[in-house]
Amino acid sequence: MESENNDIVVELDGKEYKLRRDFPTICRIERILGQGIVQIANRFTEGAFGLHDLAVIVEAGARAAGHKVKLDEIGEAISAAGIGSVAPKVLQYLSRALVGDKAEAEEDDTEIS
């Protein structure tokens, strides 16, 4: 699911959180995780990530969209929901950080009916 302005939407604990990507947010994610966005995205495509990585990205994107969230609360919510339910949305967020909204158009082309 996505919002009107192409934010990725993640549902946790029955609440929807928009994840916005912009320059300061991507820089914050890179700083906290200690890698560039390309390396972070590569790790996610290889399945080499953890709960902390997910929580950092969701918290940063949600804050950029105006949500008042804390890292530990997001981490607990992801833990309760299951990493597997949130990881695809975070990977979509990272993909868009790399190629912009073009990623969504390509995803639409590959859907199976």
Question: What does the pLDDT look like over 48-68, one tens digit per residue?
Answer: 999 999 999 999 999 999 999
Identify the pLDDT of residue 110. 44
Q: What pTM value is reported for the model?
A: 0.86
Q: What's the one-letter identity of residue 93? A: Y
Sign, CA dihedral 99-7-39-47, equals negative
pLDDT top residue among 19 and 109: 19
Cα dist from 80 to 16, 50, 102, 113, whole Å: 15, 14, 32, 31
The DSSP letter of residue 81 is H
Average pLDDT over residues 12-39: 96
Gap between the Cα atoms of 37 and 18, Å rounded? 19
